Copies of this chain bind each other. A is one copy, B any other.
Amino acid sequence: MLPETSTGRIDKKERSALDVAIDKTASRKRFKSNEEIYGAKEPAVYFYKVVSGCVRSYTVLGDGRRLIAAFHLPGEVFGLEPTERHLFSAEALSDAETLVINRNEVTRLAARENAVAGALWAHVANELHRTQNHLLLLNKGASERVVSFLLEMDDRIQLSDENGLPMTRQDIADYLALSSETISRVLKKLESASAIALRTTRHIVLRDRAVLEQMVT
């Protein structure tokens, strides 16, 4: 028990234990661009694993602004909340293919198989870690937020000419709690400083990772 992932990441062994559980019970489902996968406050009957495409988890604040809590890329599990109801809504960013898993089946399995229980624990721990990082992010300046985002995305997908961002400027803005105009301006500034290159709007290449990393402090 208590899988002790010092990095906060799900490690290989646990991931495969959960994967096995998922493969046993999952069915496949496709979502079109901007299609809702589930809404906040709905009973969390299912959770999901991204096969292809990209998904956003978000909530709409009282004043109508949208806060994106996370982007979910292929291979990642989302919607597996420790509560009975979803806290966030989820939508496909682009056309997306997912595996749909019945939550109860997996939790029943977890009661018998320790490895699965460990994987679930690790997943929540990971989620907590992510959220804490997001919290720290919002206490930084605009440039630092954008740079953190770029570095994070470059870790998760390889940013290159062939491999662009799956999300719009507005999505980035809502993730970083900035306006889309500010995203534009910061990116421009980073390009002028030749820390990045903007091949097209979606294709951003990190030119000087060292400089970028030292900006986030």
Contact = CB atoms under 8 A, between A and B. Distances in A.
Given A82-B124, A83-B125, A121-B121, A136 B5 contact: no
Interface string A123-136: 01101110110111
A120 B128 CA distance: 14
Nearest to A108: B1
A83 B216 CA distance: 23
Interface string A7-19: 0100000000000
A135 B6 CA distance: 23
A69 B135 CA distance: 9
A124 B128 CA distance: 8
A1 B62 contact: no
Contact of A63 (B107, B110, B128, B217): B217
A59 B8 CA distance: 17
B82 A121 contact: yes
Interface in A102-142: 107, 110-111, 117, 120-122, 124-125, 127-129, 131-132, 134-136, 138-140
A138 B10 CA distance: 28
For A82, A87, A117, A131, the residue with the greatest tally of chain B CB atoms inside 10 Å of its CB is A82
A134 B131 CA distance: 10
Interface of A: 1-2, 4-6, 8, 59, 61-63, 65, 67, 69, 82-85, 87, 107, 110-111, 117, 120-122, 124-125, 127-129, 131-132, 134-136, 138-140, 177, 216-217
Given A5-B84, A67-B135, 9 more contacts: A1-B111, A1-B117, A62-B216, A65-B139, A124-B125, A128-B131, A131-B135, A138-B139, A138-B177
Nearest to A4: B84
Give the residue among A85, A125, A177 with the most B Cβ atoms within 10 A: A125
Contacts of A134: 135
A11 to B, nearest CB: 12
